[in-house]
Structure 1
């Protein structure tokens, strides 16, 4: 275990003791973020209604109308990381990953990666980075989100760890042998 980073050691400890949760102290200090509670962006009810309609249109693959509605909502709340998160998800559904990434960069910048919208933006951007095979960037986003308390980000960090993958494969093999034919 000499050549392992502190983060890798924390992940291994979690694998061998799965009842022990990953905590903020389990991640490298260079990624430490302040976790002050922030007031979330408040959206006016009429803007929230527009966003809900945009989401429904995206789910129905009516992307032109969805993006028209998201643009309308952003005109009324241009500094809203949550609207940018939602539009990024719709862009992903439309296979427009580069545009989604731009929205997620802006959402992280506006939120400073804090609060509910900031954590969601980090997680979504991390997942998109993984999809794009940019694991270093994904790991950085997941570490920031995990430090802010995201259990999804913590699970992604474990999944990205090669030692975790090896241990999970060994565990699956042992479990399948134990259950017998």
Structure 2
């Protein structure tokens, strides 16, 4: 059976341009998560139930069943509203459904709950950066990608390079030079 780290490595290998390939699952954070039962004791059953609902939601979203994903993730949030990753995952499902405002609200909640640190915050910053970029809010996107890069995201670092106008100009010039080297007979000012 593959571990979370194994799956993250495979995700990075097979999908190097996805933003989440370099973020490991939250196994270590979950091990220290404190979920209080009615009597004030830790209840791992509740955490396992929430993790299961969250996984069901993620799998439903990946298979294209966004309504089921939203239902499962909302149930997980109802059971454990302090779990930042549930909000991050629901934000993705909301975005897939076209509810960008709802997605941004969930991302903000997840960032608040995670205090802007750790793997969940890294994913949130990347996801919010992508949403901002798609909406044409480049400065906000740049800020989010900078935050994600500071938390270790290689995807965010690549996005920052792509957003740099000097980098884009250099890439175009290099591409043009390579075309001319490969096809010296072609003249033109592309």
Give TM class, smaller chain: 0.7 to 0.9
Give secondary structure in 1 for the equivalent of 2:169.
helix
- Answering whether residue 180 of structure 2 is matched by residue 177 of structure 1, we say yes
CA contact (8 A) 1:159 1:165 kept: yes
For 2:158, which of 146, 151, 155 is the aligned residue? 155
For 1:40, which of 13, 24, 29 is the aligned residue? 29
* Aligned equivalents of 2:180, 2:79: Cα separation in 1: 59
CA RMSD of aligned residues (A): 1.7
- Answering whether residue 141 of structure 2 is matched by residue 138 of structure 1, we say yes
In the TM superposition, what are the counterparts of 1:1-181 in structure 2 within 5 Å? Answer: 40-41=29-30, 42=33, 44-180=47-183
* Aligned equivalents of 1:99, 1:92: Cα separation in 2: 8
Distance apart, 1:158 and its partner CA: 0.7
Distance apart, 1:44 and its partner CA: 2.0
Q: How many residues align?
A: 143
Distance apart, 1:180 and its partner CA: 2.2
TM-score by length of 1: 0.73
* Aligned equivalents of 1:65, 1:119: Cα separation in 2: 25
Unaligned runs of 5+ in 1: 1-38
* Aligned equivalents of 2:103, 2:29: Cα separation in 1: 21
Unaligned runs of 5+ in 2: 1-27, 34-45, 185-190
* Aligned equivalents of 1:52, 1:172: Cα separation in 2: 42
Give secondary structure in 1 for the equivalent of 2:29.
coil
